[in-house]
């Protein structure tokens, strides 16, 4: 399975740190979150990784290079100054990801979650890794019912930033900037989105406070 790491974001809530450091290269316990993901992917037997680039993307390219230091083959989907968000960024990289289901990881999460080893049902478009609702969130994103991700009025779990998608999930999408969230909502309504819950170490380091907390645990 190929993997894509979403690493193009500006990291506004981590400024001023991210004025000169890409969010994906922010460190937890002296190791960047991006490199932690690469090491875990390599250990799980993944060989081919796509990283999308945006803000300060050249610094990521300089640090990671071809990926050979991690036992990987890394290629880049460079979005330049026109960062395409989650949906647009993945859609833009489909030609690099091939025709089989692929893994997508938000590069700005810190977790000990194993690399998912999931099998998609015939009609499933994807599989989301879900986590308990963090204390800083008032509500979750979805419910998980009999292995399927569902929308609800009082969602009990949060999307953990790791998923497996079929390329067909993006059929009908047009090139450009768009979020994947409406697509996930639609797939959940149609019963075509699998999910599983992970209750181990997981942190979104998207703010200075959360980054500090991650470095203290």
Q: What is the widest separation between alpha-carbon atoms in the chain?
A: 46
Alpha carbons 128 and 116: distance in angstroms, whole number: 10
Q: Above pLDDT 70, what percent of the chain?
A: 100
What's the CATH number for 3-215? 3.90.550.10
> Model pTM?
0.94
Per-residue model confidence as pLDDT tens digits over 162-189 = 999 999 999 999 999 999 999 999 999 9
Mean pLDDT, residues 14-27 taken together: 86
The answer to whether 162 and 118 are in contact (CB under 8 A) is no
Alpha carbons 110 and 108: distance in angstroms, whole number: 7
CA atoms within 13 A on the CB side of 96: 21
Q: Where are the domains of the chain?
A: 3-215
């Amino acid at each position: 399975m190929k993997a894509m790491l979403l690493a193009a974001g500006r990291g506004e809530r981590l400024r001023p740190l991210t004025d000169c450091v890409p969010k994906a290269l922010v460190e937890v316990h002296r190791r960047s979150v991006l490199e932690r993901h690469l090491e875990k992917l390599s250990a799980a037997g993944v060989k081919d990784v796509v990283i999308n680039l945006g803000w300060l993307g050249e610094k990521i390219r300089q640090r990671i290079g071809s990926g050979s230091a991690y036992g990987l083959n890394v290629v880049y989907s460079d979005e330049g100054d026109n960062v395409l968000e989650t949906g647009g960024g993945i859609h833009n990289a489909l030609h690099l990801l091939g025709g089989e289901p692929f893994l997508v990881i938000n590069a700005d999460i810190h977790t000990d979650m194993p690399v998912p080893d999931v099998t998609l049902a015939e009609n499933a478009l994807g599989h989301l890794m879900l986590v308990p609702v963090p204390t800083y969130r008032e509500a979750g994103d979805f419910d998980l019912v009999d292995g399927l991700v569902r929308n609800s009025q009082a969602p009990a779990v949060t999307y953990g930033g790791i998923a497996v998608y079929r390329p067909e999930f993006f059929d009908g999408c047009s090139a450009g900037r768009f979020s994947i969230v409406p697509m996930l909502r639609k797939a959940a309504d149609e019963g075509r989105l699998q999910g599983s819950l992970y209750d181990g170490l997981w942190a979104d380091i998207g703010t200075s406070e959360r980054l500090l907390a991650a470095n203290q645990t």
